[in-house]
Structure 1
């Protein structure tokens, strides 16, 4: 079988089959265990729930299959990012973060990494290459950046950062393995919050780290084991179940987002639309080559904070909630969290509702705010 995103989706459904004995359940069992039967020499056996669990190991197998790289599971996306930082950095190191990416990564660095002697600088995603990477131990990219959906060239960043002796970490939360493949573009480490589309049902927190570097993998694995930053088995079971339909859901989400973005661009109540699939996105050409899909997130700006809140509250097919990537479409005004966006900027996460029904609901609510 050829190695393509769709072939990986197809074979993903049959990973468990390869290990099944006759009479065993097709569905993944939930293994709830903190201790194991362990007489005599414990070598090569499950020892303790902080080290081993069959359910999250099955989820890791699925993630590794999709990423094309060994993966480690974590209880959230931020736990995955923390494991990379605390597992690899030391006092005196300097890192570069996106100034317009997910804000919690910056807060973590400011409040905690700095206490351990790790300094950080900020750079806008769209001009991340400017100034070079000399003196950095680690360069952290997030593209498309959340929430403004700016892009940077992962391959170009990787080439320049490696020449300067830096590691490249790519946060691929917004895109999933079916939308973008940073490791194939040269990133050393991938982090993602599987809380979003991979789980897809707004009912669990999860994250993972993927890398093809055995030394990095072992450092992060050891950090997880010693810090206890492990996922719960039930959360892993939910993710495992969600991953089985990720390709199907992400296809609908991205296809609908492309239709909606084009229509929103023409709507008289909308002042601006940001979506990598639109030809007027500043990095549309880069998106067309770097990304497999244009994603399910749309940034739209209405005239005021009040208008934005009225639109969200008035649309019966939009869930007012933070986070994104679920089967239901959701929206939120990101300025309320302190992001550097206009007061009327909305991050719209397109879900799996029928496209035309979703558009009609959005159009009705937008038109009502424009009266």
Structure 2
């Protein structure tokens, strides 16, 4: 039976416990498992780095939500990224990344994997021609995409970039963290792998760190599964349980995030202290038509440029009270940050440096009028 998204979020991989009837997936807080005889583990469980029932439930649910063949959970989003890249790339290979990629992703490529021998080129992923020009036939193994991007909210045409990547014999990997699988399912548009920081919207409560990979192809999924075990960057059972609990309410939370973000965008768009608002739902956003084609709605993330420059942007962040000054995003509470000095500080001085007057908002699910009042006093 083809179930709807919200039904899958609550039930996929989460059947009642066959022994006790427990409706909620138990936390299997164990490192090892008794075997009936040498080489015959029960249900395939022998050691929790290799497999754990709580993590297995989360992985099955994530695969169902993204429409993939294999889902894998990791200790963080960056652990997931590293496992993917070390699985499909070798020293001397090349990857195309966004020219406004998340700062942690940039750091992984520029400061860690570059020393391992992986080459990379930053390209404007909203422009398929720019991505095509950045691809090196025979050397490029992955086209890495965020859509929307962090923090400039750029939009990539997933289907177009999948075609470009596949023509070159490369994989298309899509970081779907900003959208969540509720708003966008990249595999349905031709992507090969979806990446998540499950810390964000999937967990949704700012209480757990995690990451995930979902593969469209079972063969690739099996390779990733091998490396998940061999590299060992897995979440503990309690972290998997917290993420699975958050996933159950993803649909209703995302609707409220979107509702509140639309109110905030309307307010910021006419405020004298705001020079520019970046949000894919705005008709004048350069990626609006593409976002409307491949997203259910436009998300809870907003960036804007302060009319008074960097000093004013920092002042706005410091003045906010209900919007908590903090890194991360996607939780039920609203957050505000200055990317240039916080989440994207690692990109300072590089081609990926973000505007100094940029402010990023993660709009939560509080009462919208209260959020607008806080922005009014913060903007001054």
> Could you say whether these structures have the same fold, taking a TM-score greater than 0.5 normalized by the shorter chain as the test?
yes
Separation in 2, partners of 1:77, 1:17: 23
Corresponding position of 1:312: 317
Mark the runs of 5 or more structure 1 residues left unpaired by the alignment.
none
Cα displacement string for residues 325-361 of structure 1 (whole angstroms, at most 9, x for unaligned residues): 0100001011112362332210101001011221122
Cα displacement string for residues 125-161 of structure 1 (whole angstroms, at most 9, x for unaligned residues): 2225326234212111111110011112110010121
Specify which of 24, 38, 42 is matched with residue 41 of structure 1.
Answer: 38
Corresponding position of 2:112: 112
Cα RMSD (Å): 1.7
Separation in 2, partners of 1:268, 1:116: 48
TM-score relative to the length of structure 1 = 0.93
Are 1:352 and 2:356 matched, yes or no?
A: no
Corresponding position of 1:62: 61
Specify which of 162, 167, 176 is matched with residue 163 of structure 1.
Answer: 167
Distance verdict in 2 for CA 1:17–1:290, change over 3 Å: closer
Mark the runs of 5 or more structure 2 residues left unpaired by the alignment.
none
Cα displacement string for residues 233-292 of structure 1 (whole angstroms, at most 9, x for unaligned residues): 111111011111111111100111112112100011111111000111111111111211
TM-score relative to the length of structure 2 = 0.91
Displacement of 1:114: 2.5
Per the alignment, in what secondary structure is the counterpart of residue 204 of structure 2?
Answer: coil
Q: How does 1:119-158 map to 2 (within 5 A)?
A: 119-130=119-130, 132=132, 133-135=135-137, 136-158=140-162
**Matched residues, number:** 364
Are 1:29 and 2:26 matched, yes or no?
A: yes
CA contact (8 A) 1:16 1:26 kept: no
CA contact (8 A) 1:129 1:157 kept: no
Distance verdict in 2 for CA 1:35–1:21, change over 3 Å: closer
Specify which of 153, 158, 178 is matched with residue 174 of structure 1.
Answer: 178
Separation in 2, partners of 1:306, 1:51: 49
Separation in 1, partners of 2:8, 2:158: 28
Separation in 1, partners of 2:238, 2:111: 31
Separation in 1, partners of 2:30, 2:14: 23
Specify which of 7, 10, 34 is matched with residue 10 of structure 1.
Answer: 7
Cα displacement string for residues 13-64 of structure 1 (whole angstroms, at most 9, x for unaligned residues): 2346645437422122111111111241333531112111111111112212
CA contact (8 A) 1:178 1:293 kept: no
Separation in 2, partners of 1:22, 1:223: 32
Quick check: 195-204 or 111-120, which moved more?
111-120
Corresponding position of 1:260: 264
CA contact (8 A) 2:100 2:354 kept: no
Distance verdict in 2 for CA 1:143–1:14, change over 3 Å: closer
Q: How does 1:47-86 map to 2 (within 5 A)?
A: 47-69=46-68, 70-86=70-86
Separation in 1, partners of 2:20, 2:227: 38
Are 1:324 and 2:329 matched, yes or no?
A: yes
